[in-house]
Each structure stands twice: as C-alpha cells, then as structure tokens.
Amino acid sequence: MTIIDTSEAEKAAAAAEISTQRQLTGLARLFTALAAVASVLFSAYLIFGIGPLLRWFVPLETQYFYVLLALLIPIVFLMYPMHAGARGYTPWYDWLLAFAAFVTPIYFAIRGDAMLNEGWEYNAPYHGKVLAFAMWAIILEALRRAGGTAIFGICLVVSLYPIFAGYVPGVLGGQSVPPEITAGFHVFGTESVLGIPMNAFANLVIGFLVFGIALQMTGGGAFFLNLAFALLGGKRGGPAKVAIFSSGLMGSMSGSVITNVLTTGVLTIPAMKRVGFRPAYAAGVEACASTGGVLMPPVMGATAFVMASFIELPYSQIVIAAIFPSLLYYLGLYLQIDAYSARESMKGLPVAELPRIGRVLLDGWFYVTVFVVLMVMLLYLQREAQAPFYATAALLIINQISGAHRWGWKNLENFVVAVGRLFAELAAILAGVGLIIGALSLSGKIGSITYTLVQVAGDNVLLLLVMGAITSFILGIGMTVTAAYLFLAVTLAPALTGQGLDKLAVHLFLLYWGMISFITPPVALGAYAAASIAKSSPMKTGLEAMRLGSIIYFVPFFFVLNPALIGRGAPMEIVIVLTTAIAGIALLCAALQGYLWGVGALDGNGLFAWPARVLLALSGIVLALPGSELIGFTNWQLLEIAAALGVVGLGFAWFGRRKGIEAPMPVQR
C-alpha cells in the first residue's frame, strides 16, 4: 500500500504557473498579504451584514468595488513585469503604476457619495475626467499583464468603440460618444468596470477562491488523488480512470484547466503510459478530465458566478443545472476509456501499489465533511455567498486539530500570498472584461446586434445555436472564457431566449462552448500542457482529446433543446431524457473506441466494421438527443429511429465478428 504524495506535483505546477511572474519579496510580498487579508475581511464584513448588525459604517456598493480595485490591481504591476527582462527585479515605473492603481480608486471610494449625487458618470468635474482616463489606462495595462495580449487588444478596441461608432460602417455604426463621457461611463458607472463581472467577483467569487486554495494547501489534492487510486487504480485502464475522477474533483476546486493538468497530470500520465496507453492518448485523457473539472459543481470556474449575477439566479440553481451535463461528460470519458482498455486488453496497477480505501478515508475524512457542509449551505440553506467562508473556517480548524497537514506561520504566509496573487489576477481580468459590456451598453448596440443575428438566422433557432457555438469557440481562443461568455451573453443570448429557449440552458450552452477551445486544435491549451508532460506530439494529443471529449460537443445542444437535461422540467420527462442520454452516450462511446460491450472489438472484416461503428454512433446521437418541438420529434419517435439504426449497426458488427478475426474478450473490469 502506497499513499501518494502530491506535494512535489503541486510545487511543480506552482512553479510553472509563476514562471512568467516575479517572486514577490519584501514590501511587495507584504502588500500582497495585507491586501489579501483586507479583501477577505471587507468581503465578509458586507456579505455577513456586520455593518448594519453593529450599526457601523455601511459603504455604497461602488465604494466597496473601488476599495477592492485599490487593494488588488497594484499587485498585478508588482507581480507581472512589463517585459521579460524585468522579471528579476521591480523597476521604478512598476512601483509608480502600483501607487497610481492604489491611490486613484481610493480617491473614488472616498468621494463615492459626491460622485453619485453629482452624476460623475456623465458630468464629472475636470479632475474627475482626468482620473477616469488614468484609471481606464491602468485597468487596460493590468489586463494586458494578467490576461495576455489577445484579450487586451479585444478589450481596448471594444472599449474605444463608442468614441468612434460614428465612423464605423454597416450595422455596427452608430452615434459617437465624446471621449470624456465614455471614460466617465467606464469608470464611474455601474455597467462597465464596476459592472456584472466585478459584482460577481466581489459578492460571490472571493469566498470560493479562498476555499479552493485552502483545500489545495491543506492536502486536498493528495486526498482526491489517493481516493481515486484506491477506488479505480486496479481496474482495467485504471490510471486513466483515476485521471477522470481526480481531475474532476481538483478542477472543480481550482477553476483552472492548466493548473489542473500540471498538478494531477504529472502523476496520472506516467501511470497511464506504464499500463500501456499511448503518450498522446494518455495526455488527451488528462486534458479532457481537467477541462471538465471547471464545469463540475459545486465549485465551478469564475464564469459560473458571473453567470449567476448576469441572469440574476441563485448560484445554487447554476450548480443543480450543471450536475447532469457534467456527469454525462465524465460518463462519456469513462466509457471510452473502459472500451479502449478492453479492446487493448489493458490491466490496472498492481493492488499492492495502491492505497487502501479505508486508510485514505480515515486520513482525509474531514475533506468529505467540509464538502458536505458546503453542499448543505449551497443547496439546502441557500447561502451561496456565505457558504465558502464557513467551509473554509471548518477546514482550517479541523486541519490544525488533525495534525496531518498542520500549518505553521510560513504555511499561513504562503496561503495568504497565494490568495492575493489569485485575487489580483482575476480582478484585473474581470475589471477589463467589464469594459466590453460597458462599451456595448453605452453605444446602445446590444439590441441592434441581437436583431441582426435573428435576421441573419431567419428565425431558425438551430442555425442561431450553431452560430453561437462557433462564435463561442472562436472567442474562447483569443479571450478568457468569462470574456467570451459575457460578450455573447449580451449579444446572442437575448436572440436565443427570444426564440423561446430556456434562459439558464442558453447561458450554460455559451459557457460550455467557450471551454471547448481548451481541447480543440489548433489552440487546445489544455491538451498542449498535457502533451508537454507525456512527451507526445501536441497536435496528436489535441486530436485525441477532441475525440475523447466529443461528448462535450453534443451535450450543450441536447440540454438547450430540452432543458429537462439540466433538471428543468416534469420529473418523468427528466427521467426519460436522462436515461436515453446515458444509453445514447454509451453507444456513441463504443463506436468511437471500436469496442461494444457484449460484442467485443469492432475490428473484424473491414467491410462490416466501419459501417457498424458509423451506424452505432448515429444511433447513439439520436438516442441521446432529447425530443422537443424545436427538432420536430418526440422522445419516443427518436427512440424508434435510434433502435432502427442500432439494430442495423449491430447486424453489421455481428457479421464483422463472424467473418473477421475474433478479437480477445478481456474479463478484467
């Protein structure tokens, strides 16, 4: 029995993550730590209503946002160098930018009441206009450093659009807005920098980020990985199944595909290669598993919190709706791996090398307890903003009592600095992304863009969905998932909901398709990160990931056409749709991997093998497709079509097995 230690893997992932950042030391490290503590305390002060309870000062929401910006944006200039040559030191101009990024929003927070009463959003005094331009530039530069050149360029152009709208031809043309009005709207208004993304960050995301980091730094990653190895490591293709289980849980709490790949992949990918998986296949499995983790409740990526704020639904409803699609995605991954392992006669890891389930649960029982606390508060007590604070407090208290991963002062310092780093990066990106919504709102183009999209699609909902999927994928290449989602949420989503589609299903659809670029070439960042560990071809890894993750291309269309698949409908409808989806995905996975349970490998006579796989794949897709008025078929009609395709496909498979070479039928499961 071996208890797996992930500390070295986590250190390697952290080192890779900060390779483009400065090591924070001295005053910069102290400011980061103090800013992190102050941000968490200020957030808790408002979320728990301490001010009204004790009759203390209660700030305006905009004042709260400005204080967060003042605490976090300076860290970006201390953490990210302007160019690679300044990585080893902090030049004077970065200190100057950090100072300006602190002082300017602090001044806005102090003048919060005056700004509101005097209408600075449209009629700021001269010095206010100057500071608005300065803050606009500071946010864009912070976005460039934290988010990259691509998203910086997009946000820069879109944020300037209202100024030059009068010079833009075609449907995007409009009336130009004076530069000083545009700057005031971006910085002083509540629909741009201080809009939905910042609102979600300040009121929801902060607590969950702290919980995620605390879970990782108290040994949660090691627990999940050991639990996965204990449960699945000895099964056929066991290490790949471990990757699915562990990466799903790790990704749920980290919210980062790349971090997830680098943390779990350094252990799962070598183990997969050891039992016979090809390097590209092993890397593809890890990339898909890590990508799906960000879509897995209860702690999803930051975009889910932004979505909750945008469509004004409790985060608990987002969690419930995301459960079924994410489970279907992981079911598809699991079944494909099991089919591939059976086809290739693979075994699992030796039992003697695996941790025992009893020992793992005994050592990490409190992680399960904390997750139960979190779920109860999210789904039963409906306290999504307060839940992560309680869960984090419980986790840290139990961690100190248990002693297995007990922190010293250095551990606490590292935790606080890690929180500050993550807060700063996300705050810069979300504030920058808010500029996109602000520009579209100020120019009044949201309605006209939506109208144009509907006109182009000719009121064809399916065409609109395909347009949305393609656009989400393209935007997901050059922008963060949050930015891509928000852009389409204000432009395309109204067109889709206007055609009668469920609002929550539409917004989840956009979120899913924004994530797909992580496993789809030519970008496939998650696959390429895994390829670097597996020493495989990045393009081959991307193609393997695309095939393994193929379920993610279909599931969003399924639940947007019939929201029963996200738990929104009559109980019997939900049961029927979910059951047929599971059966359909099982058939599709068998066809993709060339192995059908009860039949064996679909690699007999080539004249029959490929028709069998194609027909079984079509049968699976039709069976998984939920019936609805939009596609013109009921669930029973689709079941009849799927059955016909499946029977013919099975016939081809049977003949192929008779006339071809009998494939071995492994018995290990």
Convert the pLDDT of each residue in 445-478 to its tens digit.
Answer: 766 666 676 677 666 788 888 888 888 777 776 6
Rounded to an integer, the average pLDDT of 211-220 is 85
**Which residue type occupies 305?**
F
C-alpha to C-alpha distances, 509 to 313, 440, 505, 564, nearest whole angstrom: 16, 22, 6, 14
Domain contains 583: yes
Indicate the pLDDT class of residue 216, thresholds 50, 70 and 90: confident
C-alpha separations of 221 from 250, 251, 495, 533 in Å = 6, 10, 42, 18
Q: How far apart are CA 629 and CA 182, in angstroms?
A: 44
- pLDDT of 322 > 80? The answer is yes
Most confident of 251-255, 302-306, 577-581: 577-581
> Whole-model pTM?
0.81
Query: What are the b/e assignments for 297-313, b being 16+ CB within 10 Å?
Result: bbbbbbbbbbbbbbbee
Asked if residues 287 and 526 have their Cβ atoms less than 8 Å apart, the reply is yes
In a domain, residue 329? The reply is no
Could you tell me if 391 and 211 are in contact, meaning their C-beta atoms sit under 8 angstroms apart? yes
Nearest of 92, 79, 73, 84 to residue 22 by alpha carbon: 79
Q: Is residue 634 part of a domain?
A: yes
Average pLDDT over the chain reads 84
Is the pLDDT assigned to residue 189 strictly greater than 80?
A: yes
Q: Which domain holds residue 590?
A: 570-669
Domain-located, residue 196? no
* Count: domains in the chain: 1
331 vs 55, higher pLDDT: 331
Nearest to 516 by CA among 559, 474, 562, 466: 474
User: Is it the case that residue 245 has pLDDT exceeding 50?
Assistant: yes
Amino acid at 80: Y
Mean pLDDT calculated for residue range 576-588: 91
- Taking 70 as the threshold, does the pLDDT of residue 205 lie above it? yes
What would the mean pLDDT of 69-98 be, rounded to a whole number?
90
H/E element holding 104? helix 92-110
In our burial notation (b when 16+ CB lie closer than 10 A, e otherwise), range 459-478 reads eebeebbebbbebbbebbbb
Asked if residue 512 lies in contact with residue 558, where contact means CB atoms within 8 angstroms, the answer is no
In the chain, the percentage of residues whose pLDDT exceeds 90 is: 25
Phi-psi region of 348 (alpha: psi -120 to 50; beta: other; left: phi over 0): beta
pLDDT score recorded for residue 666: 45
Query: pLDDT for 101-130, tens place per residue?
Result: 999 999 999 998 889 888 898 888 999 999
Residue 193 has pLDDT above 90, yes or no: yes
Is 82 within the bounds of a domain?
Answer: no
Task: Identify the burial level of 208 via C-beta atoms within 10 angstroms of its C-beta, where 0-12 means exposed, 13-18 middle and 19 or more buried.
Answer: buried
663: pLDDT confidence band, cut at 50, 70 and 90?
very low
Reported confidence tier of residue 87, pLDDT bands at 50, 70, 90 = confident
In a domain, 595, yes or no: yes
Please check the confidence at residue 516 and state whether its pLDDT lies above 80.
yes
User: What confidence tier does 658 reach under pLDDT thresholds 50, 70, 90?
Assistant: low
For residue 600, what are the β-bridge partners? 596
Asked if residues 541 and 534 have their Cβ atoms less than 8 Å apart, the reply is yes
Whether the CB-CB separation of 565 and 626 falls below 8 Å is answered with yes
Q: Are 326 and 296 in contact (CB under 8 A)?
A: yes
Residue 455: C-alpha distances to residues 190, 451, 560 (Å): 31, 6, 21
pLDDT at residue 659, rounded to an integer:
46
Range among 104-108, 315-319, 649-653 rated most confident? 104-108
Asked which of 249-258, 310-319, 422-431, 442-451 is least confident by mean pLDDT, the reply is: 249-258
Residue 15, pLDDT score = 46
Does some domain include residue 191?
no
Distance of alpha carbon 201 from its chain centroid, rounded? 14
Mean local confidence (pLDDT), 582-604 = 83
Q: Identify the band that residue 585 occupies on the pLDDT scale cut at 50, 70 and 90.
A: very high
Residue 616 located in a structural domain: yes
The answer on pLDDT for 2 being more than 70 is: no
- Distances from the Cα of 294 to the Cα of 43, 221, 260, 378, 511, angstroms: 24, 15, 9, 18, 10
pLDDT of residue 253: 63
* Whether 157 contacts 141, CB under 8 Å: no
Model confidence at 622: pLDDT above 60: yes
Residue 451: its pLDDT value, please? 65
Per-residue pLDDT band for 664 (boundaries 50, 70, 90) equals very low
Provide the percentage of residues in the chain whose pLDDT is more than 70. Answer: 91
